[in-house]
Structure formats: structure tokens, C-alpha cells
Amino acid sequence: MTSKNRLFIASCLALITTSMTFAIRAKLEGVFMSDYSLTSEEIGFAFGPAFWGFTLAMIIGGPLVDYFGMKKILNLAMLGHVTGIIVTLFARDFWMLFAGTALIGIGNGMVEAACNPLVATLFPEEKTKMLNRFHVWFPLGIVIGSVLGYLIVDTLGLSWMILVGTLFIPLFGYVFMFYGKELPQTERVRMGVSDTNMYKAVVSPLFIFIALSMMLTAATELGTGQRIDSLLGASGTSPLLILAFVNGIMALGRLFAGSLVHRLSITKLLLFSAIFSFLGLMWLSVATGAMTFAAAGVFAIGVCYFWPTMLSFVAEKIPESGAVGLSIVGGLGMFSVSIVLPIMGNFMDENATGAETLSMMAILPAILIVAFGALHFSKKVA
């Protein structure tokens, strides 16, 4: 195995650890509401640090990647994951759940802060293809976590603590794969782009537009997935199986993103994603039974390319922004989810149904259809 391949596989294992936490947390929503009497709004606030902690880690970790190197940032990721998992295992109330979620969120953010520029640096001629291939493992990790939750808790009736403990498996895997390996300098450092030019890039109108759009794309994808249990609880299907189904489609889509990107421009791909996300959410709001899977499939096609393609846009169209640019965009995406989760929870606590909440969420991709349509037809970046 070449050093490049080992580093890529290690990055994928780190991302699996990150994404499994999202699926497992989705299962913990019902557990902490029924067993520990937390309200839906409290769950929203307790889960919030997974996203703003992620944001904080990325915003801080992005610049540090350039100055201190990727290895030190990955060491912080490992520390956040280990401590966060342990604290979550002992959580029995709001504040312990909040603390464990925050630590895991910091670990997750450090993974993204280091691994996104690592993949872009390892494959400078295939950024969109390889970033999508790297991010295959985010939905696959959610599939793994969802299936484990269904088997361990729902089918076998075992403790939720066993489910949380499965996170140590990919965690130890990426620790082992990164151990003793030298990591390259970031692409910005290699290009010799000055700090001044980097900060000019991250305040450019195009960068600000993409950063704000990322807040809507991430909230559409991750806000819906994180509260899948309460959103689809009345649909007559297993929400965790729907989550696994959605993310399985996303993984396949990202795996073959390279050939699709060659046929479509990056802006066409974003517009396509916004349209299907909107249609999927509207259909999910009225679907029941087996049709829920069909509606979920349309939604999955929509959100499939959002996250990696937004990062690829920054890496390809605004490369001077470097690791900082990738971290700001990714961090703002996660921050938006920390905002939308308690809003969704409050909406449902006030007696709105899951279907009504899904309709409300469809407003976000509706805005994106207009935004990405304007971006594409401007012809400046298409």
C-alpha cells in the first residue's frame, strides 16, 4: 500500500467515526426523551454542540492546519473523539449529554479541518472526484451507525451504551493508520499564497455567497437526518431504516460523482441538488408506508452532492482561500444545523407534526433553487 493510499484510507476511517456519531445520536434522541425525560427542545439544544462544536473546531483548526500541520490537528481530533465517547457513555441528563456531544463535535470538526485539505493536497488534479469519493464515507458511516442502532437497540434490545461503544472501532482504526506517517504541507502553503491573499479570498463576494449557501445546504441535509426519528415517527416505517436507505443512496451517488461532474458543470450539479432536495422534502411530508422510501430516495438524490460539491467549489474556484476557506465553509454549514435543530424541536413541541416540520424545512432548498440558478446563469463561474 502506497503512503498516499494509506493516508486516504486513514482519512476515510476518521470520517466514518465522524458520521457514525450522527446516526447514533439520532437513535439517542428517543432514548433520552423516554428514559431520561428530556423534551424535544432540550434534545435540540443538547445536540447543538455537535454542530457548533464542529464549527468552532473547523474555524480554529483551519488556520492551524497551515501553521502547525495536519498531524497536530488530527491528534486533537483523536482526543476529542476519545473523551467525547467516554463522557456520552456516562450521560444520564442534559448537561452530560451536552458535554459529550460538544467534545465529539470538536473531534469531528478537527477531522474535517485536517482531512479535507489533506485529500485536496494528495489529489490536486482530481479534487472534486476525490473529495466526493472521500465523502462517500460520511453517508456510509451513517448507514453503519443506523443499522447498528436498529440491530443492537431495536432488534436485540441491548443497551444504548453498547451502541455508543461501537464508535471505538473506526476510531482505533484511523489512529493506527495515521500512526507514524508523515503528512504533506497544505496546498496553499505549497503554492506560496500569502496570508493577505488568503484573507482577501475569504471576503470575496463569491466566497461569501458560497459560505451563506452552505448554511442552507447543510441544514437541509443534516438537520433533517438528525431528527429523523421524530420527523418520520408517524410514517409507518422505521426512521432508522429510512436514514440508512437515504445514506446508502448518497454513498453510491458520491462514489460515481467523478463521471457526473464531467457531464455537468459544478454549478449545474448544485442547482440539480437543490431541486431534488425540495421535491424530496415536500413528498416526504405527505408520504406514508412504502412510499416513504420512494420520497426518501428523491431527497437522497438531492442532498447527495451538497456537502462535497460545496467544498469542491471552494477548492477549485477559490483555491487561494486554502484550508481556512474549506474550514469556514464547512464550519458555517455545521453551525447552521445547531441553529435549526432547536427551532425544529420547538416547532414540534408546540404540536406541529413531523410532516408539517418537513414542509417548513422545504423552504431552505426552495431558496437554494433561486440562489444556485442565479449562480449558474451568471456564467462567471459555471
Residue linked to cell 467534545 = 103
| Vertex 325: Cα angle to 322 and 331 (nearest 5) | 135
- The total of other beta-carbon atoms located within 10 Å of residue 2's CB is 7
pLDDT at 141: 92
The span from the CA of 338 to the CA of 265, in Å, is 31
Q: What average pLDDT does the structure give for the chain? A: 87
Asked whether residue 332 is assigned to any structural domain, the reply reads yes
Residue 163 one-letter amino acid:
L
Q: State yes or no: pLDDT of 264 exceeds 80.
A: no
- What is the average pLDDT across 160-186? 92
Asked whether residue 317 is assigned to any structural domain, the reply reads yes
The span from the CA of 69 to the CA of 75, in Å, is 11
Q: State yes or no: pLDDT of 184 exceeds 90.
A: no
Q: What pLDDT digit, counting tens, does each position of 277-298 carry? A: 999 999 998 888 889 899 999 9
Asked whether residue 364 is assigned to any structural domain, the reply reads yes
Q: Of the candidates 179, 178, 173, 169, which has an alpha carbon nearest to the alpha carbon of residue 85? A: 169
Residue linked to cell 493536497 = 121
- What is the average pLDDT across 342-358? 84
Asked whether residue 204 is assigned to any structural domain, the reply reads yes
Please say whether the beta carbons of 314 and 326 come within 8 A. yes
Give the 3-state secondary structure of residue 185: coil
Residue 131, CA distances (Å) to 100, 123, 126, 250, 319 in order: 29, 9, 8, 14, 14
Residue 379 is classified by DSSP as -
The residue range of the domain holding 121 is 3-377
Residue 324's pLDDT band (cuts 50, 70, 90): confident
pLDDT at 237: 78
Asked whether residue 335 is assigned to any structural domain, the reply reads yes
Residue 96's pLDDT band (cuts 50, 70, 90): very high
The span from the CA of 19 to the CA of 6, in Å, is 20
Q: Give the up-direction half-sphere exposure of residue 261: CA atoms within 13 A in the CB hemisphere.
A: 23
List all residues 6 or more positions away from 16 whose beta carbon is below 8 Å from its beta carbon.
Answer: 137, 140, 141, 144, 170, 173, 174
Please say whether the beta carbons of 369 and 274 come within 8 A. yes
The span from the CA of 277 to the CA of 112, in Å, is 24
Residue 273's pLDDT band (cuts 50, 70, 90): very high
Give the 3-state secondary structure of residue 341: helix
pTM over 0.85: no
Q: State yes or no: pLDDT of 261 exceeds 80.
A: no
Question: What percent of the chain clears pLDDT 90, i.e. is strictly above it?
Answer: 39
pLDDT at 379: 59
Report the length, in residues, of the chain: 382
Residue 368 one-letter amino acid:
L
Question: How many structural domains is the chain composed of?
Answer: 1
Q: What pLDDT digit, counting tens, does each position of 28-76 carry? A: 888 888 888 888 888 888 888 887 887 888 888 877 887 788 899 999 9
Asked whether residue 382 is assigned to any structural domain, the reply reads no
Residue linked to cell 440508512 = 244
The span from the CA of 32 to the CA of 36, in Å, is 5
Q: State yes or no: pLDDT of 322 exceeds 90.
A: no
37: left (phi over 0), alpha (psi -120 to 50) or beta: left
Residue 120's pLDDT band (cuts 50, 70, 90): confident
pLDDT at 262: 65
- What is the average pLDDT across 161-182? 94
* Domain at 42, CATH number: 1.20.1250.20
Residue 233, CA distances (Å) to 149, 240, 315 in order: 16, 10, 39
| Vertex 370: Cα angle to 366 and 374 (nearest 5) | 160
The span from the CA of 160 to the CA of 359, in Å, is 31
Q: State yes or no: pLDDT of 234 exceeds 80.
A: no
Asked whether residue 184 is assigned to any structural domain, the reply reads yes
The span from the CA of 210 to the CA of 317, in Å, is 11
